[in-house]
């Protein structure tokens, strides 16, 4: 009896399990995994992540003295800096530059000044000695001339040849005196120039020392106005902070933004940049405040792309003006931007979650009972839907998640994939032709002789 009871219980359990599986399968809620392709008006959006910045801000710069090339200091390290986001008043402390580097330059300038002062004093002594010697030579030449005059006077009663020789000696002594007097004038000017050069060198070093001392006293950077301190960021991402080096060629340390004029700086990939235009409306979310929804407008679109780090992809810088003011917003906050790229009427669209993709194509699981992998050609998208150019029609049923046997399903619509590839190739060829035409026009302009008429322009013939 016990065996029969156990057997009956086991059979009942198996039957219950089978019924549960069958009814569970038959009770699948397809409304949760199937959606319908729709036709209607589609609002295309381009999504990007950005960063809040002030459209207008006042820079906090290095001391003006550091721009003086005569100081021979090309860069200084920031030894301390207040934290980014610190609220400061006008004149409050912001940062300190390296005092030791300036102290070393002051010591070197002091040594140079002492050396130049010694050379200046020596040059004055040397000049006095040289000019004194030259004056002695002139005195001797003058005495020699006087002596020659006496000889001439005494030779009155001598023979003509002796008188002639005495006259010649007198002329020679006269010329020598004149030459020595001229030489003294030149020598004096030369010595004055030498002393003057030494003095100029001394004065320049002395002035440089004075400027270095003024720079040393101005190495503490103060805020030019009240506001929030924002670290300066280079376009390639580097941030000026404690330890960074600044100088005449990178003079901005930080900035104080004007919070009443905020923008979101973002970057759009080269595929979507053609859809972005100045004046387009933008919905802006703030990651730090998910409940906030702001409005804005595209005010700037870069003409030249830039490479993304560690990638061959190009992106274009976009600036979005934010309307209104909000006291909770702060610089460098992350924004979620949705750019309104256009309105499409009477178009086919499908839920974003219904689009699947592999390495080379995009597809949907089409059909509720016997699904297939239908290749689709998609266009713009927004937060909920994707435009469908080819592959689906209105009221088609597609899956929002992969069917259990997804790996075994076959692809349908290979001709659409071929069209997509052909379109990409045509676009590439067109872009290449436009590039070649542009280069050719530049080359023609470079070799065109001055005064020649542009290509295709025919000069009028005068009668």
Q: What is the pLDDT of residues 252-279, one digit of tens each?
A: 888 888 877 888 989 988 878 888 889 9
pLDDT for 458 beyond 50: no
Q: Exposure pattern of 106-117 as b/e (b: 16+ CB <10 Å)?
A: beebeebbeebb
Question: SS3 for 221?
Answer: strand
Convert the pLDDT of each residue in 193-216 to its tens digit: 989 999 999 998 898 888 889 888
pLDDT for 144 beyond 50: yes
Contact 378, 386 (CB under 8 A): yes
% of the chain beyond a pLDDT of 70: 88
Q: Which helix (H) or strand (E) holds 34?
A: strand 34-36
Least confident segment among 116-125, 198-207, 377-386: 377-386
pLDDT for 18 beyond 90: no
Q: Which helix (H) or strand (E) holds 263?
A: strand 262-269
Over residues 13-17, the mean pLDDT reads 66
Over residues 278-301, the mean pLDDT reads 90
Q: Could you tell me the two tokens for 102?
A: 């300036």
One CATH from 3.30.1310.10, 3.90.470.20, 1.20.1290.10, 2.40.50.100 for 57-98+219-257: 2.40.50.100
Note the pLDDT of residue 16.
65
Convert the pLDDT of each residue in 308-317 to its tens digit: 766 667 888 8
pLDDT for 462 beyond 60: no
Over residues 285-298, the mean pLDDT reads 90
CA distance 381 to 349: 9
326 Cβ contact partners less than 8 Å away, ≥ 6 residues apart: 292, 294
CA distance 431 to 451: 32
Contact 181, 138 (CB under 8 A): yes
Q: Which of 207, 401, 232, 194 lies closest to 332, judged by CA?
A: 232
Strand order of the β-sheet with 230-231 is 57-61, 252-257, 230-231
Over residues 400-427, the mean pLDDT reads 87
Instruction: Return the domain boundaries, the chain.
Output: 57-98+219-257, 100-217
Q: Which helix (H) or strand (E) holds 214?
A: helix 160-217
Contact 230, 332 (CB under 8 A): yes
Q: Exposure pattern of 215-228 as b/e (b: 16+ CB <10 Å)?
A: bbeebebebbeebb
Split at pLDDT 50, 70, 90, the class of 81 is very high
Residue bearing the bigger pLDDT, 259 or 16 = 259
Convert the pLDDT of each residue in 307-352 to its tens digit: 776 666 788 889 999 998 888 887 778 999 988 887 788 888 998 8
Find how far residue 331's CA is from the centre of its chain. 18
- What is the pTM (predicted TM-score) of this model? 0.49
% of the chain beyond a pLDDT of 90: 12
Least confident segment among 52-56, 132-136, 137-141, 353-357: 52-56
For strands 281-286 and 57-61, give the pairing. Answer: unpaired
- For the chain, give the mean pLDDT: 83
Q: Exposure pattern of 430-455 as b/e (b: 16+ CB <10 Å)?
A: eeeeeeeeeeeeeeeeeeeeeeeeee
Q: Which residues pair with 377 in a beta bridge?
A: 390
Q: Could you tell me the two tokens for 447?
A: 């070799």
pLDDT for 24 beyond 50: no
Split at pLDDT 50, 70, 90, the class of 52 is confident
245 Cβ contact partners less than 8 Å away, ≥ 6 residues apart: 75, 76, 77, 78
pLDDT for 29 beyond 60: no
pLDDT for 248 beyond 60: yes
Q: Which of 419, 430, 429 lies closest to 361, judged by CA?
A: 419
Least confident segment among 162-166, 237-241, 444-448: 444-448
> How far is residue 73 from each of residues 65, 182, 246, 250, 267, measured CA to CA in Å?
10, 47, 10, 13, 37
pLDDT for 298 beyond 90: yes
Residue bearing the bigger pLDDT, 10 or 192 = 192
Over residues 73-97, the mean pLDDT reads 89
Contact 227, 148 (CB under 8 A): no
CA distance 104 to 96: 17
Question: SS3 for 310?
Answer: coil
CA distance 7 to 15: 12
Over residues 173-181, the mean pLDDT reads 89
């Amino acid at each position: 009896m016990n065996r029969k009871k156990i057997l009956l219980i086991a059979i009942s359990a198996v039957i219950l399990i089978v019924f549960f599986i069958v009814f569970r399968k038959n009770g699948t809620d397809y409304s949760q995994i199937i959606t319908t392709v729709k036709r209607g008006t589609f609002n295309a959006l381009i999504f990007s992540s950005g960063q809040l910045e002030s459209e207008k801000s006042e820079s906090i710069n290095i001391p003006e003295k550091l721009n003086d090339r005569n100081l021979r200091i090309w860069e200084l390290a920031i030894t301390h800096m207040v934290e980014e986001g610190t609220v400061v008043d006008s004149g409050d402390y912001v940062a300190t530059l390296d005092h030791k580097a300036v102290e070393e330059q002051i010591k070197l300038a002091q040594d140079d000044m002492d050396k130049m002062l010694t050379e200046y004093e020596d040059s004055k002594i040397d000049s006095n000695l040289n000019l004194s010697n030259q004056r002695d030579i002139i005195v001797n030449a003058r005495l020699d001339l006087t002596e020659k005059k006496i000889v001439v006077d005494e030779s009155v009663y001598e023979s003509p040849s002796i008188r002639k020789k005495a006259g010649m000696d007198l002329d020679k002594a006269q010329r020598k005196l004149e030459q020595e007097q001229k030489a003294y004038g030149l020598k004096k000017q030369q010595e004055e120039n030498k002393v003057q050069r030494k003095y100029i060198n001394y004065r320049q070093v002395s002035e440089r020392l004075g400027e270095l001392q003024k720079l040393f006293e101005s190495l503490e950077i103060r805020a030019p106005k009240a506001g929030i301190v924002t670290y300066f960021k280079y376009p390639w991402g580097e941030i000026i902070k404690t330890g960074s080096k600044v100088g005449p060629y990178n003079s901005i340390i930080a900035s104080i933004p004007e919070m009443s004029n905020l923008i979101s700086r973002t970057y759009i990939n080269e595929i979507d940049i053609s859809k972005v235009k100045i004046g387009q409306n933008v919905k802006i979310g703030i990651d730090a405040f998910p409940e906030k929804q702001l409005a804005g407008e595209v005010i700037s679109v870069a003409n030249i792309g830039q490479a993304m780090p560690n990638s061959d992809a190009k992106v274009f810088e976009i600036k979005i003006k934010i309307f209104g003011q909000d006291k909770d917003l702060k610089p460098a906050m992350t924004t979620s931007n949705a750019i309104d790229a256009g309105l499409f009427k009477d178009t086919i669209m499908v839920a974003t979650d219904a689009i699947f993709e592999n390495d080379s194509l995009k597809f949907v699981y089409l059909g509720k009972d016997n699904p297939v992998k239908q290749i689709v050609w998609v266009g713009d998208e927004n937060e909920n839907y994707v435009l469908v150019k080819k592959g689906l029609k209105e009221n088609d049923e597609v899956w929002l998640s992969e069917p259990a046997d997804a790996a075994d399903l076959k692809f349908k619509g290979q001709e659409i994939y071929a069209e997509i590839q052909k379109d990409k190739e045509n676009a590439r060829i067109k872009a290449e032709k436009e590039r070649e035409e542009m280069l050719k026009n530049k080359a023609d302009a470079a070799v065109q002789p001055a005064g020649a008429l542009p290509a295709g322009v025919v000069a009028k013939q005068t009668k």
